[in-house]
Structure 1
Amino acid sequence: MALRCPDLPFLPGYTFNSMLGRTRFNMDPKFDFIGDGVPALIEKVKPNMFGALSDKYPSIYPRGEVAEVPSWIAFDKQILCFDAFFKETLQEVRGAPYNVRQVKIYLFLEDGTIQVTEPKVENSGIAQGTLICRHRIRFPAPMDDNFYEMIDLNLGKEVEFYGRVFKITNCDKFTRNFLNRCGIAVPDPLNTPSDPYNDLRGQECSNVKHKMKKREDSLGKFLANDRKVLRFYGYWDDQETVYGYLHRLEILYYLADDTIEIREVREDCGKTSISMFLHRDKIPKTFNGLPMPGANCTSTVLNVLGPGLQGGRFIEDPISCGVEVIEYYCEKDLFIGSVINCYGRKLVLTDCDPYTREYYRSKYGLNSLDAIALPEDKHAALKVEMKERELPPWNGYGSYEDSAQNCITVEPKAPHRDFKKFLNLDRVGLDSHILRFRAFMISKIPENCTRHFIVSFYLADDSIAVFERGIRNSGFDTKTFFARKPMALPGQEVFTSKPPVTYTSQHMYIGAIIIVNSFVFELVAADEYALRYMEIHDYQYPKANIKVIMGKIRDKLRPTYKDFVAENMPKDGQSTIPYDTLREKLIGILGDDFTEHEMITISRAFPGDVFDKIKYNREQIRAITLTELKKGLWDDVTRLREYFWMRDPERRGLLPKDVCYVVLRACRLPLQKELVEKILEVIQKDEQSNLYYEDILNFVNREICRLADVEPVNIKHDLSCIKDIEYVPYRFIDWCGFNNFLALEDTFKQQGPNTIRIQQ
């Protein structure tokens, strides 16, 4: 910037405009790193001719002892608050030469700005609020080159802002602690002098002795007691009058405004209905008839001067002369056994809810709030018992639910569903709540017996869907064989008024025979989810409950247990028995009471063999990863390293597994989440299972140890967790575990491992 030459006079032609030739008028920001690798915008401070940032005072903190961060970050939302006062001269008031006005002085540490505000006082007659807006304030002349700073404000000092002198008397706790940490001693608070003008007004007001109308703090009471309701139960006995009966009432007392609402509970033909007995309002203790017009007005007008109320003047009665005081029922008048005069009707309170009992116990110390009995209802014997509605028989049009709903109401409405069951058993993530079984059709036609079907049972609404899986060159296509629908059990009457009994989840198990739309299916297998769900909820499915199954076998084997063990003892030192052998023995003992599903449950509880699951090693997973990255045209290892550094400011090189997963997904690598999970499984770990993210960077870097591209892989199926837990039927059963669980060995002791492996 060009400067004016001090030797030349300050005249046109002898000065130079600093803006000549300048094309950019924006601020000069500076981007830098705060801390360890955190980018941020920092103010660019220009020092003076001596190299210091301030002409008056040096920095409070020594350089190098604190982090060099911008002031708007270091002192964000940190404000020093001082209490002060100034004297304002009064010329027109006798006996009060000045007025003492108390203010608040705020110093914003982030930019050194100062704001002066005066708390508003009701009916003060002075325009109060913000006296000086927030900005940097200069010293009075001749030191107006400098600004007020933090060390210029302290208790007992007088500061001059624009010709007005403020004396600081006190500060808050934060300000005192902050100044003490900076090495500035803060004196004790000073007393504010009395205001002669307010003292004069107080003497004048005390001479006027009259009774003013009291005002209740209705807003404060509403805010403290909003949504707090006391609930009482009572009755009004009107049986002595003609057509009268015993009214059962529910009294609600609202603590927010002391109003009472009364509801009547009726029972007609077994149904309970609630009607309004008295709308929410205050109930007077004494009722002398309806008030006259204007009797409930809150204020009284003494006289009116001038034509009309708008163009004239009127005087309001502040003492409220002649106003009748009406007492209303409050919470102290309500207790069990009390009688309320509700506009001439005597209501008796007999009981209350638990919240009301706790309220009276905590506030008034009443612990004995026992309910009292209701009087005898003389018309109870005349009530007609509710009979179950008999619907006409179903005519075959539409579903039974639609026909029944149309018979109940004239207006057509959709049938109601079990909404609670739908919320509990609807699909939640991977938990589908669908039991899937593989089935074959039982038919007299040989071609139908070779068809493959998938039977799905939906737990949300007990509906069944059948899907056919076509086999090549079989003549049958892959399609939906039977749409999702609740299916009635066979052997029921169709055209009746009773709803049909449908299949439930307890009817679905391996070996069951179901009839769907006159087609007979046999369930021969189930997926892993169905078997797992039944085993977890074994209290609902006895054929998947290993304790129930083994208890049934134990009762049958008790007389012939030794012969059973001698016949099925494994030979050649083995501890397993073939699945088919044990199945034939148990069928011979239990007969038709033993199903295939129960045998599968036994094999899953006592597995005798473990199949080696196909797993990918590190090199195979890396080859698949590099192939996917190449197809996605991703090659930004540098940016990925920066994201890991932001998560690891200490540069330890270790991050938890979940943090690494978030970083990889946030960088939008063209990898499916199943592949990302497999990558994190093969990465190097420390003793606390933290991952070395440098190994992840080398893992996805194609420039390090290049590998050949692999053939396309079905990642969602081959690398998913569902593939790892895919159901595989066991060929052998652990004989030792099966025998030990029976616990029938009295004299015969089976040698072998004393372990019971039960899959949960």
Structure 2
Amino acid sequence: MSWELAQGLPFLPGCVFRDPTKTSFHRSQTLGYKNGFAFSQLPTVGIGGERLYENQLSQAELDELSKTGPTLTYGQAKRAPPSGFLPAYVAFDKKILRFDAYFQEDVSLSPEEPYRIRQVCIYYYLEDDTMSVFEPVVQNSGLPQGKLVRRHRVPKNDHGDHYHWKDLNRGMNLTMYGRTYRVVDCDPFTQVFLESQGIELNPPEKMVLDPYTELRQTPMHKYITPTDFDQLKQFLTYDKQVLRFYAMWDDTENIFGEKHPCIIHYYLADDTVQVRQVYKQNDGRDPFPILIKRQRLPKTFVDKKKTFPNCVLEISDQEVLEWYTAKDFAVGKSTTLLGRPFFIYDCDEFTRNFYRDKFGITDFQPVEIEKNPQEEVPQVIPPYNGFGLLEDSLQNCFSLLPKPPRKDVIKMLENDHKVLRYQVALESPNPEDRKRRFILSYFLSNDMISIYEPPVRNSGIIGGKYLRKTRVAKPGSTTENTTYYEPSDFTIGSTVEVFGHRFVITDADEYVLNYMESNAERFPAATLQSLRDHFRPRRVVKETANSDIPTLATSKQELDELIVQVQEELKLQKHLNNKNIWEAFLQCDKDGSGTLDKAKFLAVCDSLSVPTNTILLNKLIDLCSCGEDKINYHDFLRAFPS
């Protein structure tokens, strides 16, 4: 049997024939790669390359595809867009129909009103067909008003129908929950909307008013008062209207009397007068708020007996013929109130307008009041008592609660831990005090000075803190014009007076010179030059020690010139014995090295009353220095020829 015949046999056991010519049994590939990405595809042939009838199109499908060629190219044709639909909650958002209506309510147990008319507003919301009823608030009605029917769909009948805007019109009765409302009118938007929907509106009706409310609004008094003057009318017309006058109470006739500025208030509501006294700051008077309390002031009294008890009974209309009125007050006029004379010199703008409209007065020129110029008491600052700083003591003169003086914070931050140190000697007639040496420290952060005395063994003087940190004023400074010592005042050889003690500056730290040279624009040239001259010998010695080029010739020449100057200065010191000076130095130099320690050298000079605190001798000692606090006394003794 051929293969074509075998294909038509039913698929039953024993009826299947295998093609003996078939040699390929592999499956076709369904995976592939494109642009580096793996993708799957349907097989084109079956196992062994057999034809797949499941993936082939029939003739009918091919015919249909041939008819719809553009669809294969451009895809399915787009459907026409649906017609536009706008929901009601969008189309009628915030669109409300308003109707004016009223309803009649019976009133029981009231002989004055058998019924009352209550006016309401009916709102219909088009977005969801809901309704609400609102009653405007009426003052003093005594009824709970406001929202009578909350917003919801109102039932129309018992069949489940609800009110629609087509059911509303003017001139109709509308029943909601057993209460009948008479619709009389609507607003313009409601009228336009209903007419646009083809509804014919009834003519509007007049709103019915409540008879009892109208009765209450009618005046109760239907008679005419017999007089034009009515206190109630005056109170209602002139309530909170006050005339204000500026006056001066002259009390100079009495002992210790003076002129007091006052303000007179005239209350138009009840013709009462009040006088208030104007107080100034530090005028020495207790600030009582009112001089004359608000009351009616009598102008003319009835002739009364001397036995009338004024201190017991108050003044009434029987004792007074005339009271003060607004006509009795005018600018530039004097008036007497309760025995006190007041001169009115000005008034405010409201008072001017009242007199201009009421009495036709136009002259309101203010009167100049002669004021005695108050003598200014000069503030005398007491002299400085010596305790504390001048600024702290000065604050006690300005206020009862003194405040600390302000500090220069920027200066304190910039110059923190910056101290200028000087060596000073005490200038005293006692020979023992001349040998004492002190260290003066000047603090740049707050311009304070402290003095410390280094302790010396076996000197008989306890060293330590001589002066704590404080600001030292220059001699001749006053409390009003205070000048303090500054770094520019400290030169080599200058004298500093500290609370009665005089100190002579003999030496300084090298930091002082470096600081002044770095800030040369802030210090005088003389101060800077004195420090340079003082430190020049030391710098020459250092440069000589650190360099290989000798400078002995320059130093010797300078030394010779300085010795000549010192000898001329020592001629004035006639009490010095040159022979004793030579012998003292030779005895101290026991090893014969020709040098002595600087401390020992200065001690010998002080014992012989040699004025080492002078500028020339200080320069000579510096030139005789040979490093490490050693001094070559042979060069120094050349200034004292034996």
Q: Which has the higher contact order (CA 8 A, sep 6+)?
A: 1
Q: Which TM-score bucket, shorter chain as reference?
A: 0.3 to 0.5
TM-score, length-scaled by structure 1: 0.34
TM-score, length-scaled by structure 2: 0.39
